[in-house]
Amino acid sequence: MFESQQLQRLLAQGLLELASLTVLVETTPSHFKPKLDPTAPLTEAAMTNQKPSSDQQPPSNRRNFMTKIIAASVATGAVAQGSKAHAATNAQPARAANGARPKVIFLDVNETLLDLAPLKKTVGDALGGKSELLPLWFKTMLHYSLVATVADRYEHFTTIGAAALQMVAKNNDIEISTADADKAIEPIRSLSPHPDVEPALKKLADSGIKLVTLTNSSSKGVEQQMKNSGLQQYLTDRFSIEELGIYKPDSHVYRWAARKMDEDIGDCMLVAAHGWDIAGALWAGMRGAFLSRPGAQLYRLAPEPEISEPTLEEAAAKILALTGK
């Protein structure tokens, strides 16, 4: 009886691990998946370090391939490793129990560092002066950036923003041409920083913490934003999700950014004025500092970040007060 129960438990555990690994493979975006060689040993390096392929295997082919992998994994214990890897992707947010400073601070750009007021003005004018439609426009833009991520159809953030503007306009009996929508979005590349941003970035940079932008804007777009705003001098690097073709708050973005900086994700912190962005970072295992700018709120179903302040200067003071190792 004991042996039978033990066998049943082992079988159940194996089925759960198989399901876990299958979900991991089936739900990873195609452009983020490594291209695996079925004849090569199934190692962590093989799963993570090979160059991503833009080719997407049909679901039936992936399932057949998974069957071969599982069969080969029984003898090597790779299924258990896959289960642990999947658990790691759902890691709880890092907690700096020892009060350590982050080694890298990733900075969201739009609204976190840069004041969107000029952009809101041109978009509001395009919408016939109906400023009450601005929140709907921004939410529609975010919505369809996630649609693009899920559907594996990347478009530049400004392209999605212009399309979202036309959609909101049409629902309110306002006609906006594609050219006029593009023109309304143009100010996003020449925004000024909030007054609290530059003094805070200088203090953080002087402390030796690496500062890196992590934005949904395109690579060229964030380059122009940092140049025009005068903030480039404080940065170690600039990261754009364009390199991945996946929008924040997908967890892959935050883990990718930490890997690019060659740091453990728990030693990195995201600073953002968007609750959805902080939630994505925390769920990926990154630390978080939320800027509660007017109208910004944390997502109620996500963990709370260790720092939450109205301005970047106040958040920077909290970060610099951390002295643990």
User: Of all helices (H) and strands (E), which one includes residue 13?
Assistant: helix 2-27
Position 308 scores a pLDDT of 98
User: Of all helices (H) and strands (E), which one includes residue 145?
Assistant: helix 134-150
Beta strand 237-240 pairing with 268-272: unpaired
Edge-to-edge strands, sheet with 210-215: 237-240, 210-215, 104-107, 268-272, 287-291, 307-309
Name which of 139, 129, 162, 127 is nearest 274 in CA terms. 139
Q: For each of the domains in the chain, give its residue range(s) and CATH number, in order of start.
A: 2-89 (no CATH), 104-114+193-320 (3.40.50.1000), 117-190 (1.10.150.240)
Q: Kindly report whether the peptide bond that precedes residue 305 is cis, defined as omega within 30 degrees of 0.
A: no
Per-residue pLDDT of the chain in tens (325 residues, 90 and over written 9): 444 444 444 444 544 444 444 434 444 444 444 444 433 444 444 434 343 443 443 444 444 444 444 443 333 343 333 333 333 334 444 555 458 999 999 999 999 999 999 999 999 999 999 989 999 999 999 999 999 999 999 999 999 999 999 999 999 999 999 999 999 999 999 999 999 999 999 999 999 999 999 999 999 999 999 999 999 999 999 999 999 999 999 999 999 999 999 999 999 999 999 999 999 999 999 999 999 999 999 999 999 999 999 999 999 999 999 986 6
Contacts (Cβ under 8 Å, ≥6 apart) of 85: 24, 44, 47
Position 220 scores a pLDDT of 96
Give a three-class secondary structure readout of 77-144: CHHHHHHHHHHHHCCCCCCCCCCECCCEEEECCECCCECCHHHHHHHHHHCCCCHHHHHHHHHHHHHH
Position 325 scores a pLDDT of 60
| Cβ 232 vs Cβ 226: under 8 Å | yes
Position 95 scores a pLDDT of 52
Name which of 283, 217, 212, 224 is nearest 249 in CA terms. 283
